[in-house]
Amino acid sequence: MDRKLKKKLSSLGTNPKERIEELFGEVNQHQKKYLSLLYELAIHDIKTGLYNNLFFENILEMEMEKAQRGKQRLSLFIIDVDFFKKVNDTHGHIKADEFLAQLARVLKKQLRASDIAARFWGEEFFIILPETNLQKAKKITSRLRTAIGSDKLLGKYNITVSGGLVEYKKGDTKKSIKERADKALYKAKNTGRDKFVAIE
């Protein structure tokens, strides 16, 4: 046997097989940790900690399949920060990001474990409310609105949001339910902002 190899094997102790298995176990544990970290990074938005757009799209598709089979009710909610360009121009991008992160924290605190909140784009957020009809969803979004309105940081800088709420209806596609939620959002914005609007 090669001298160098002998030396390396002797450094493993009296039971090299056991030590090698132990080392492989440690490597596997590290790999699992890194894979878990990579997965978390892949599905979350870095600035807010909410789920990202890609994850949202996949979950929405799965939840809609359940709704299409008649297995559950489903509601979809979209939130948009009012006058966000003005917020950016007035307070700068770093402060604006802080507002988005705080809004995300408020959402996470108020939502149920089964709800999926995602940063969709810029200052827009989508929330999937599984097993939830429109009436129940209205109660949830009303609670959200109260929490957002009473938040100290958002209130201090007069950060308000508008929202649009819809329930899945037969024949809806991912595109159509998002478009209806968007239509409800625009109705909220066009009728004064700082409000949530639900449409059938």
Instruction: Supply the residues annotated as catalytic.
Output: 123
| Count of CB atoms situated within 10 Å of the CB of 105 | 15
- Rounded to the nearest angstrom, the gap between the alpha carbon of residue 153 and the centroid of all alpha carbons in its chain is 21
How far is 172 from 180, CA to CA, in rounded Å? 10
| Count of CB atoms situated within 10 Å of the CB of 148 | 23
The DSSP annotation for 28-54 comes to HHHHHHHHHHHHHHHHB-TTT-SB-HH
Q: Which residue has the tokens 């894979």?
A: 35
- Backbone phi, then psi, for 133, in 5-degree steps? -85, 175
CA dihedral (82, 87, 89, 91) in degrees, to 10, reads 180
**In Å, how far are 41, 44, 47 from 94, measured between CA atoms?**
21, 19, 10
SS3 9: helix
Structure tokens at 175: 């595109």
